[in-house]
Amino acid sequence: MSPVVADAVSVVLLVVVLAWAVIRPRGLPEAVVAVPAAVLVIAVGAVSPSGAADEAALLGPVVGFLAAVLVLARLCDDEGLFRACGQWLAHASRRRGTLLAQVFALAAAVTAVLSLDATVVLLTPVVFATVARIGARPKPYVYATTHLANTASLLLPVSNLTNLLAFTAAGLSFTRFAALMLLPWLVAVAVEYAVFRRFFAADLAAPLAPEARDPGPPVPVPVFALVTVGATLAGFVVGPLAGVEPVWAAAAGASVLAVRALVRRRSTPRALVGAAAPAFLAFVLALGIVVRGVVDSGLGSALGHLVPSGTGLAALLGIAALAAVLANLVNNLPAVLVLLPLVEGSGPGAVLALLIGVNIGPNLTYAGSLATLLWRRVVQAHGAGGDIGLGEFTRLGLLTVPVALVLSVVALWASLSVIGG
């Protein structure tokens, strides 16, 4: 097949894969289309077999980390961690006007430590259950989980797949990455909170059910799970100092809880495999190969002319804006795969600006991030898909994304000026 036709095929296949991931006809997995598409781009010569193998090798540790964190988060749920979170939220709701702040704090913390997938997959159902129990209007709190899953994933290298991909390229230690992203993370969350208070003012002012005064019987705090999560987080920090990748710390934490669950017959090997979401992992790998075909077709070279050079404030803003636009066009994971080779030569500041763009930007569209796609599945599973529409999602995104993006980049520039890159 001629190179021109092969390039055109790879572009069409990427569009089809992303459209299927957004629509998911009959609830079929994203991999149903993505895996055959990856095979096809190899068959037509858009990606060589060795290129596909290189892409799989690049994404392998990231996918492995995602699997480990998904299992870790599911086992934390089995231990009762998220039930305890739900009761904490119910207690918080007794003081009028504080529930949104509590949901923001909890979602930001869970996203930073257990990754955005835990917030979307495990915390969102807790929020649904809590607001139903106290008679609150769900929209502000349910929207908060997806917005915070994206925005609050700036803080740590392990908070988002995009961060893991960029972490090595940035050439930063775990603690330096966190130190540089702390101020942008706080600014982004604060902007989201301020806009949510205004956008959902009517929903937040609606009276709660009288039962809100009774949060129910106490739920035991899952100390073992909390200690395991704390040890895993410590492994993320100190592991790289000994050459241990974050994926192994996540796998160790998941293994500890898995052994305990199996011994106590609280889980089964089949349930643990299911918790790793193998079909979704296959989708991520296949998507990377399809994107490789599009990049090799000339997109990478074309974007190379648009990426600002340097690490001044204007350049950082330009990189973040370009990343945000591309994330909403082709999803944030492909966007970081495309842009990372183009900005890593400019240093860690440029890489972190790229992350601000691909992590905050996806709150504009459903297709912007894998987390938002997962969130839509959770929302539809709770029968709330009709109440949360594309128009409202987009309006909220237009109010939050530009402001959060600009102010977070300014905060990053200030952090780089004080701490150094």
Phi, psi of 137, rounded to the nearest 5 degrees: -75, 130
Confidence band (pLDDT; 50, 70, 90) for 401?
very high
* Amino acid 386: pLDDT: 59
Task: Rounding to the nearest 10 degrees, give the CA dihedral for residues 162, 181, 399, 148.
Answer: 60
Q: Is the pLDDT of residue 210 over 70?
A: no
* Amino acid 120: pLDDT: 85
How far are the Cα atoms of 24, 34, 220, 286 from residue 17, in angstroms, in the given order? 10, 5, 44, 10
Scan for tokens 């950082």, then name that residue: 316
Higher-confidence residue of 202 and 24: namely 202
* Amino acid 273: pLDDT: 92
Q: Is the pLDDT of residue 186 over 90?
A: yes
Mean pLDDT, range 34-43, rounded to an integer: 93
| pLDDT tens for each residue of 230-288 | 888 888 777 777 777 778 888 999 999 999 999 998 889 999 999 888 998 898 889 88
Scan for tokens 């769900």, then name that residue: 138
* Amino acid 280: pLDDT: 85
* Amino acid 214: pLDDT: 59
* Amino acid 345: pLDDT: 86
* Amino acid 304: pLDDT: 78
| pLDDT tens for each residue of 17-36 | 888 877 778 778 889 999 99
Scan for tokens 């966190």, then name that residue: 178
Full 3-state SS string of 75-141: HHHHHCHHHHHHHHHHHHCCCCCCHHHHHHHHHHHHHHHHCHHHHHHHHHHHHHHHHHHHCCCCHHH
Q: Which amino acid is at 115?
A: S
* Amino acid 307: pLDDT: 86
| pLDDT tens for each residue of 334-372 | 888 888 888 988 889 999 999 999 999 999 988 788 788
Share of the chain above pLDDT 70, in %: 94
The number of C-alpha atoms within 13 Å of 17 and in the hemisphere containing its C-beta is 32
* Amino acid 199: pLDDT: 95
Burial of residue 36 (CB within 10 Å: 0-12, 13-18, 19+) is: middle
Nearest to 370 by CA among 321, 319, 330: 330
Q: Is the pLDDT of residue 8 over 60?
A: yes
Mean pLDDT, range 160-172, rounded to an integer: 84
Higher-confidence residue of 91 and 408: namely 408
Mean pLDDT, range 385-403, rounded to an integer: 86
pTM, whole model, 2 decimals?
A: 0.81
* Amino acid 152: pLDDT: 94
**Angle separating helix axes 161-170 and 174-199, nearest 10 degrees:** 140
- Tokens at 215, concatenated: 């949060």
Burial of residue 310 (CB within 10 Å: 0-12, 13-18, 19+) is: middle
How far, in Å, CA of 5 to CA of 10, rounded? 9
Question: Running DSSP on this structure, what letter comes out for residue 295?
Answer: I
Do 336 and 58 contact (CB within 8 A), yes or no? no
Q: Which amino acid is at 136?
A: A
Q: What is the DSSP string of 368-380?
A: G-HHHHHHHHHHH
Share of the chain above pLDDT 90, in %: 34
Q: What is the mean pLDDT of the chain?
A: 86
* Amino acid 55: pLDDT: 85
Confidence band (pLDDT; 50, 70, 90) for 390?
confident
Long-range contacts (CB closer than 8 Å, 24 or more residues apart) made by 128-131: 128/382, 128/384, 129/86, 130/86, 130/89, 130/90, 130/93
How far, in Å, CA of 119 to CA of 115, rounded? 7
Do 130 and 90 contact (CB within 8 A), yes or no? yes
Q: Is the pLDDT of residue 212 over 60?
A: no
Q: Which amino acid is at 371?
A: A
How far, in Å, CA of 170 to CA of 348, rounded? 4
* Amino acid 216: pLDDT: 63
Confidence band (pLDDT; 50, 70, 90) for 69?
confident
- Domain edges within the chain: 3-419
How far, in Å, CA of 35 to CA of 39, rounded? 6
The number of C-alpha atoms within 13 Å of 232 and in the hemisphere containing its C-beta is 30
Q: Please, which residues have CB within 8 angstroms of residue 174's CB and are 6 or more apart in sequence?
A: 156, 157, 236, 237, 240, 246
